Amino acid sequence: MAMICKRLFFFVFLFISFNHMQAQKGIIPEPYTVLLQEGNFSFSPRTIVSFNAEVLADEVVVFNDFLIKYYGISLKTYSKVPPPNAVYLKLDKSLQGEAYQLEIKSTQILITGTETGIFRGLMTLFQLLPADFNGTANLPCLLIQDAPRFAWRGMHLDVCRHFFPKEDVMKYIDYLAMYKMNTFHWHLTDDQGWRIEIKKYPELTSIGGWRKGTLIGHASDETQKTDTARYGGFYTQDEVKEIVDYAAKRHITVVPEIEMPGHSLAAVTSYPWLSCKKASDGVATGWGVFENVFCTSDSVFTFLENVLDEITPLFPGEYIHIGGDECPKVNWKTCPVCQTRIKELNLKSEEELQSWFIQRVEKHINSKGKKIIGWDEILEGGLAPNAAVMSWRGMESGVEAAKQKHFVVMTPVSHCYFDYYQGNPAAEPLAIGGYTPLAKVYDFEPVPAELNAEEAKYILGAQANLWTEYIGDFSHVGYMLFPRLLALSEVLWSPAVQRDYVSFRSRLLTQFDRLDRFKINYARSIFEIKKTVVSDTIKRQLSVELSQEFQQGDIYYTLDGTTPSTTSMIYAKPFSVLSDCELKATVFDKDGKEKGKTSQTFSVSKSSGASIKLTYPPSPYYNYGSPYTLVDGILGRIPWNGKEWLGFSDNDFEAVIDLGKSETVSSVKVDVLKAEISWIYMPEHMTVSLSSDGKDFYVANDWSLQNDPEAGRTIGVVIKPSTARYVKVNLKKFGEIPTGKPGAGNGAWLFVGEIIVN
């Protein structure tokens, strides 16, 4: 009898565990706890929502709006004692902030919390409805207790490079609400357009809201082309109020960004007296950083204060974002007004002048009951007393600000730039560059390990940024946002100890079904065939491994550039690449339907598969497959992505390649990247040295950018045929970025893709 009871308990446990997993299957971000109970609740159009109409009317209206918009049903409401078959919303102030409890019983669904918590619970209930919901669903009885990890869970949208009408912005806010994000960072002014009505300065939108054309192709293209179509748009203050109210009803705070002192060309074009030059260059038609910025005259501050006096009442949130990034100081250095400021204030530099600029603006914003937040450049020259920092160039500035007891929002370019590629660039829409795949977003940890417990309290949370230089329509916005938004939402909401990428991927499939049902465009790069190139230093060969994150069928491949079919070679184990070839691979399911693919061109040289050592490590943000990515036979792609390049910011480059045996060496080439819009420059100098023992090297030849100013992406030297086993390559990094270029005054980056020895 005891054995029978044990077996019965075991099978009940398996059943509960299975249903527990099924209950969580579609929920992203993952709740704090989910406890399965017996039974089901029948959810249908006959279900009633019971609530206190005096305080929860907005939450119910929005929930019904989601049901109507995505499933075509609406629930009746009831404001008295909840009847059977009801969703009962009950305020419980003991659950603070955004915490909520959701209990599904066979006769009732109970959601408790504050108004915000109840809304988050309603979004969980919305996700529990199956993707194929057709009006009725049996929801498993369960108890969810949930609360967010971080207070700031944000997404940014740039509407300056490309403009999105009110209706699109509202859709964007819906997407954030669906996945429990609570902050919408609205980038409203930049060089390419001023997008918000300011009644005191109407020409900000009548002139600054429009440009005479838009860049065609990529900003790193050697030849720049621009169309001649007038482009622009702006939001009236009434539209802004409508959008802010729309977000508030979804418990999302809107943080406006009004850029200063740089990225202000649209404003300066509208009113040329705002600049040191007192002249207009026109609203920018291309991308980058421009020198014509706000002056530091009193009239400029009067202008900014008047603008902010109209801005602050429109946005009830705590923060106003003032930009503060990428401000060239070249005009300040020659401007009599700015130089007089520096002398009168006993400042040491133009960087300190910018700090004074930000602090003066902060005082005015503080007087309006608001606080400022800015990009991490506002740390330079001294941080304004009450400012919060968005750390974008890495995590280091966020660490510095937190140690100074300033609040921080982490948004590092390494993990949180959703304008970067998320898959194979050959199969993706044109993007600015970089590589931020789904798994990397999910791996993001907003609290740096170097902060102690007290300092970590200053990390408000994190957000991702969606810059729109190459995003011209809202369908493309969806593609860049999804599924990475889902990964970020789980990073910011769920407990760190619960984070499990395997579990997340399984729940993601349900979300894909939902996105399909909702007709939301999303990237399918996670279904691509993943290729891993391993340098076999013993055999001195390149070994290629193919894999799938989701097993959808068998992989078929070719090495001659032809399109694979089900009669091509079937992948069974890693294979060697011994000569130049073009790999193409496709997954076919059991019905012969194509489910995913990849392609890659290999250029094999004597260094391919060789052992390589780097003297100085690359930046941790651009360090995929280091150092073997330099000898894997794959040239870096342009437009660039981080996957095929190693990036160096602090040190020059030095690599020693061991060819395994003495070889005749007659040329050494290096695949380097020039993308000045991204602060990436050609090296100034290259030296190639040879050795037979790895200890005593002699210089074989060198190359200079000064002697070859038109050098392309591959630089190199021809050597008198020499016998050597070891090849050392030194690249001297370009120095400070010159005036007039994006990132002027900062150190240039060096990106290396491949070293080719023949």
Residues classed as catalytic? 190, 263, 326
User: Structure tokens of 571?
Assistant: 């992948």
Closest C-alpha to 671, from 701, 699, 632, 700:
632
Q: SS3 letters for 484-546?
A: HHHHHHHHHHCCHHHCCHHHHHHHHHHHHHHHHHCCCCCCCHHHCCEEEEEEECCCCEEEEEE
CA distance linking residue 678 with residue 289, whole number of Å: 10
Which residues, in sequence order, are CB contacts of 669 under 8 Å at separation 6+? 714, 715, 716, 755, 756, 758
Beta bridge partners of 698: 690
Query: Are 28 and 504 in contact, with CB atoms under 8 Å apart?
Result: yes
Residue 481: its H or E element: helix 474-481
Closest C-alpha to 515, from 101, 170, 171, 21:
171
Q: Is 593 exposed, middle or buried (0-12, 13-18, 19+ CB in 10 A)?
A: exposed
Which residues, in sequence order, are CB contacts of 370 under 8 Å at separation 6+? 312, 318, 319, 320
CA distance linking residue 668 with residue 721, whole number of Å: 11
Closest C-alpha to 750, from 632, 669, 649:
649
Query: Are 624 and 644 in contact, with CB atoms under 8 Å apart?
Result: yes
CA distance linking residue 299 with residue 305, whole number of Å: 10
Residue 288 CA: distances (Å) to CA of 637, 677, 758: 21, 6, 38
User: Structure tokens of 684?
Assistant: 């100034």
Give start and end residues of each alpha helix (H) in 139-192: 166-178
b/e map 682-720, b = 16+ CB within 10 Å: bbbbbbbbbbeeeeebeebbebebeeeeebebebbbebe
Q: At what angle do helices 474-481 and 484-493 cross, to 10 degrees?
A: 50
CA distance linking residue 77 with residue 51, whole number of Å: 8
CA distance linking residue 231 with residue 733, whole number of Å: 39
Q: At what angle do helices 115-128 and 53-71 cross, to 10 degrees?
A: 20
Classified as helix, coil or strand, 667 is strand
User: Structure tokens of 109?
Assistant: 């669904």
Which residues, in sequence order, are CB contacts of 87 under 8 Å at separation 6+? 47, 48, 49, 50, 75, 108, 109, 111, 125
Q: Is 624 exposed, middle or buried (0-12, 13-18, 19+ CB in 10 A)?
A: middle
The single-letter DSSP state of residue 203 is H
- Long-range CB contacts (< 8 A, 24+ apart) of 72-77? 72/135, 73/45, 73/135, 74/45, 75/45, 75/47, 75/48, 75/49, 76/48, 76/49, 77/48, 77/49, 77/50, 77/51, 77/53
Beta bridge partners of 586: 556, 597
Q: Which residue has the tokens 């073009």?
A: 582
CA distance linking residue 623 with residue 629, whole number of Å: 9
Torsion over CA: 614, 615, 620, 622 (sign): negative
Strand 408-410 to 750-757 pairing = unpaired
